[in-house]
Structure 1
Amino acid sequence: MTIRSEDPKTSARFNKGATPQALILIAEDQIEIADILVAYLQRSGLKTVHAVDGQDALAKHHSLKPDLVLLDVQMPKMDGWQVLAEIRHRGNTPVIMLTALDQDIDKLTGLRIGADDYVVKPFNPAEVVARVLAVLRRTTAAGNGGERLIRIGKFQVDLEGHQATVEVQGQLKVLDLTLTEFKILTTLMRAPKRVFSRAELIVASLPEGDTLERTVDSHVSKLRRKLDTLGVQNVPESVRGVGYRFGGDV
């Protein structure tokens, strides 16, 4: 397989704001590809560990607790979808899928199961590094009690101040959101490319006992109307038959 390569030193420019010494688990059965990713990631100040198949990936995920997993779809013993499903069962480790299947349905499968991002082969290793660092920044901000802001495109959520804003024509507009609308927007912004099912949004965003999936549609519709009035369209974005994703300028 061809990889669009360049000098690994150029990837260092993406390292601003990255988690220092974060551990990246590379689950990739093609040694040449894994070696290139190791070189680029290490030159960006990240630690790496390599797994050669799906079972090895799950064993190292369990024992080493990596900060992020680069996960190939087509691997021996267990494929990437099976590994991703088990990682999601265990917790919220960020996962970026590596796939040679450049089809929307395959990307959608990964995002539906819970991938945070995907990269289609052949890829530029520097782009993979940039994606890794971006996901690390987002997940660190979401999980670190010392961090209070989530910024995606023109949107910003202040978790401590419980305020959401969006930039419209150069001006910052405060969104008048209910608690549930705020939680839905925050959940989607934490993984803006991931598709969340209605069931997942119920768990993350709705009050206890409010468990009807159509209730999610109602809250999303009201949130979307409030953004529409500001000229911000298709946020959140509907994914037919699956659920919702952020859909903004990621």
Structure 2
Amino acid sequence: MHPAIPKLLQLQERDQRIRQLQKDLKDVPNQQTRAKMQLAGDQAAVEAASQHVKEVEVKIKSIQLDVQTRQTTIKRLQDQQFETRKNDEFTALGHEIKRYQEDVTKLEDGEIEQMELLEGSKAKLKEAQAKLGETQKRVNEELKILEERAETIKKRLEELNAERKELSAPIEEDTLDLYTRIFHKKGDAAVVPMENAQCGGCHMKVVVGVIQSLKQSESLTHCESCGRILYMVE
């Protein structure tokens, strides 16, 4: 085995862990977004329930205003009826008063219905707010865990990068540059074993000349198919 292979394998193990942790760290914001999205449905339910409460309250106020207007009219008609001396006018005013009184009764019945509806709407709003509160609490816990995880990953990355720097120091510059280029290009491994005359990276058959080169161990040997650095499992 070429003397640089054990050093490169140690370095590659750190690089693979660094790459995975970088991937995990990059995914944290996506996980935070997904966690926050859990609130969307509950927030929409609270907004809808709150809007319904407001609409019912507006209807109640409108009814109350209509009742007040009709009661004012009734009072004015009653004053006119009290002042009139004519029987037919007295009777006509009485019919008008009765009609407005019937309107008031209907409006007040409608107000009672709306008050009952308002009570139910407020109960639904309270229920929706409670559910949102529970979801918010759960999401806050998830976000806290994700934040702590991100900090842990960052700390571990600092440690691994320090280890990588130490491991790469004794490797010749040309060899290190070659390894680094292959590792970044392939995205998984730059140094792979040859087993059963196959490349451990691309799994293609290795030619006899490559096998002989590996046995001699005089220089780094590459897979002719994928370009990865090969070593023989001893």
TM-score for the superposition, normalised by structure 2: 0.20
Higher share of residues assigned helix: 2
| Greater radius of gyration (CA) | 2
